[in-house]
Amino acid sequence: MPDHALPSPWIQRFTALIEPGATVLDVACGHGRHLRWLASQGHPTVGIDRDAEALADAPSGSNVLQADIENGPWPLSGRCFGAVVVTHYLWRPLLPAILASVAEGGVLLYETFACGQETVGRPKRPEFLLQPGELLQRCAAPQWRVVAFEDGFLTDPERFVQRIAAVRTAPDSESANPPKRYVLG
């Protein structure tokens, strides 16, 4: 299996945060590498991408939706998922809809390119590269519990990335109850 078909180690590591049997949305899912991984872990999956040819490779049993999420309305408005996974994709106008798609108690697993990437490869355009700490800032609201965050350079293959694993908490959930134990992989 080619490397680009393997699930991200970040996604694999933090899959344990997702409640057993929770439905997972993979935004810009491409050929479905994370849909396959998450389904193998017992999660019903929903994938969305604009590329019909890529979606044809999605694993059987996955609910896939072809939509141009950059030039049309968010097709999953009002739906929430036990986890939302995003890798190698950034469209800032969509970030509020992505965050709103994470159910209370659900998980956001996001990994994409960051500033500096333009020095080692694609993408090079600033609108497709996260600014320092940008994902962390997006999850700074009280309803988010950041479990892990990285912003830096990886060597194999060379790339600059930001990645976050965050849980959407219930209001005042941790002050009223003992703290939840978030397993770190």
Rounded to whole angstroms, the Cα distance separating 30 from 55 reads: 6
Q: Alpha-carbon distance 80 to 177, whole Å?
A: 24
pLDDT at site 178:
55
Only one residue has tokens 């959407």, namely 168
CATH dotted code for 3-176: 3.40.50.150
What pLDDT shows up at residue 61? Answer: 87
Please give the average pLDDT of every successive group of 10 residues along the chain, which has 185 residues.
Answer: 75 96 97 96 97 91 94 95 97 96 97 95 94 95 94 93 94 59 66
Could you tell me if 113 and 128 are in contact, meaning their C-beta atoms sit under 8 angstroms apart? yes
Domain ranges of the chain: 3-176
| Tokens read off for 175 | 């002050």
The SS3 call for residue 128 is helix
- What pLDDT shows up at residue 170? 78
Within 10 angstroms of residue 82's Cβ, the number of other Cβ atoms is 20
Q: Is the peptide bond before 157 cis (omega within 30 degrees of 0)?
A: yes
